[in-house]
Structure 1
């Protein structure tokens, strides 16, 4: 996620130079074709690029709004996950109390396991959303649990099943009463909802035809604008076409970069940072000493 209030020109160029070069080629080729083949033979009406440009503005604006909605919804989901993770840990540490059948040390191990399982859930969910090779969740599960959850295709859901079984065991052993059991179970349900919402965004592909035709119409608009200008300003139509095209292509690129918010790119949701924040908060709540460092921003520009 970009965090800098200013954007370096090098970053803009690195993200748009391919479009820019192709834009130059298209505009130069369009002018040369008009000058040598259609000069004084055909005149493109001004109405064509005017109508097409207006339609494209609404089209790209609608697409960018939809892309930002996907990005913002993803950010809200993981913001809720942070809060619910803290709630889960706080309630586990406060609601689960020892009785005559179990001593304090054993109970602390169970509490620690419940919190560690949740950290594993967060990292497994991040891995699934980014389709990465990271196996950080294994650090917080027992070898037996690792084998069990990796037998299933959806590892985060399998970890939630472990949590449900653990919570049921606490209730049956009288370590948590019915009311507190319901609250803890409700938190697990929220985790499942947040997992499902994240997977829905990740697995729902923005219509390919929408992206394809938007880009196609932008190139048609650039050609038309260059042709219209060529009859009145000559070679300067190349500069005009490049300028207009760069604006439309860059605007399109901005929206396109937000369509998949969980991708491991600079404009995506900072899952590494959020996951590490949850990990740090939960380990500190347990009173553990081996606390990892927060994820740092890269060049004070973005954080992953």
Structure 2
């Protein structure tokens, strides 16, 4: 997630240079053909491009607005995960109890396992939703992304659990199943009452809801026709601009058409880069930061001082 108001021009250039190069070459070519070679009558009436510009602006505004709604919903979902995670740790600590002093160690071991397994669930869900990114130095793609591997969850699971976890088609859901089995075990041992069992199960269901809502956004892409036609319309608009200004402005049409085309290109890219918030890109919901926040909060609730080290955000990006 970008946190600075000012974006680095190097980042903007990374995503726009190919299109900008096309706009520049086209503007120069139209100017040379019109002013020096006089091969064709290249002028297009301004009213034609103004109608197209208005329609394109409305279309891009609609796309950007709906893309932001998807991003904001994803952020709300993970915000609720933070809240329910804190509640889960509190409930496990205060509701799973035993009146028999001889069982105190077993109860504490169960509490520790369930709280730390939930930290593993959070990290597993983050990896499950994101692409498994491998940095390609030659292609220089997504230069600010980070690797995502399930090894991040190993420290929170027992060895046997982690071994089975890696074999599952849906690893986060498997961890929720284990939590349910431990709840059942605690109930059968008399460590929680019917009412407390129900309350803890309700919190587990909320974790299912968080995962399901996240998967809905992840697996249901923004309608592809919007993405496709927005690129096509931006391309057509940019290709026509030099023909509109060259008659009256001469060489000034080159920078002017490039600047106007850049504006529409950025509007399109804003929507394009925001519509899928779980792709591990620099504009996405900061799942890593949220996961580390949950881990820190739960460790503090349990009394573990070994907090995770937060990622450096000095470059204005929170992953």
TM-score w.r.t. length of structure 2: 0.89
Deviation at 1:210, TM superposition (A): 1.9
Distance 1:226 1:275, change over 3 A: same
State the partner residue of 1:158.
174
Q: What is the CA deviation profile of residues 126-146 of structure 1, one whole-angstrom value per residue up to 9, with x for unaligned ones?
A: 111113341211211111112
Equivalent residue pairs, number? 302
Q: Structure 2: which 5+ residue stretches go unaligned? A: 133-147
Deviation at 1:255, TM superposition (A): 1.8
How far, CA to CA, are the matches of 1:3 and 1:239 in structure 2?
30
Q: 2:131, 2:280 within 8 Å by CA — same for their partners in 1? A: no
Task: Confirm whether residue 171 of structure 1 aligns to residue 187 of structure 2.
Answer: yes
Q: Structure 1: which 5+ residue stretches go unaligned? A: none
How far, CA to CA, are the matches of 2:19 and 2:42 in structure 1?
28
State the partner residue of 1:142.
158
Q: 1:3, 1:303 within 8 Å by CA — same for their partners in 2? A: yes
Distance 1:197 1:37, change over 3 A: farther
Deviation at 1:32, TM superposition (A): 3.8
Deviation at 1:28, TM superposition (A): 2.2
Q: Secondary structure at the match of 2:274?
A: coil
Deviation at 1:225, TM superposition (A): 2.1
**What CA RMSD, in Å, does the superposition of the two structures yield over aligned residues?**
1.8
Q: Secondary structure at the match of 2:93?
A: helix
Deviation at 1:178, TM superposition (A): 1.1
Q: Which of residues 256, 267, 277 in structure 2 aligns to 1:261?
A: 277
State the partner residue of 2:78.
78
State how 1:184-195 maps to structure 2 within 5 Å: 184-195=200-211
| Range that drifts further, 252-261 or 288-297 | 288-297
How far, CA to CA, are the matches of 2:161 and 2:14 in structure 1?
44
Q: 2:60, 2:230 within 8 Å by CA — same for their partners in 1? A: yes
How far, CA to CA, are the matches of 1:97 and 1:252 in structure 2?
56
How far, CA to CA, are the matches of 1:34 and 1:178 in structure 2?
84
TM-score w.r.t. length of structure 1: 0.93
Q: Post-superposition, which runs of at least 4 consecutive aligned residues in structure 1 deviate over 4 A?
A: none
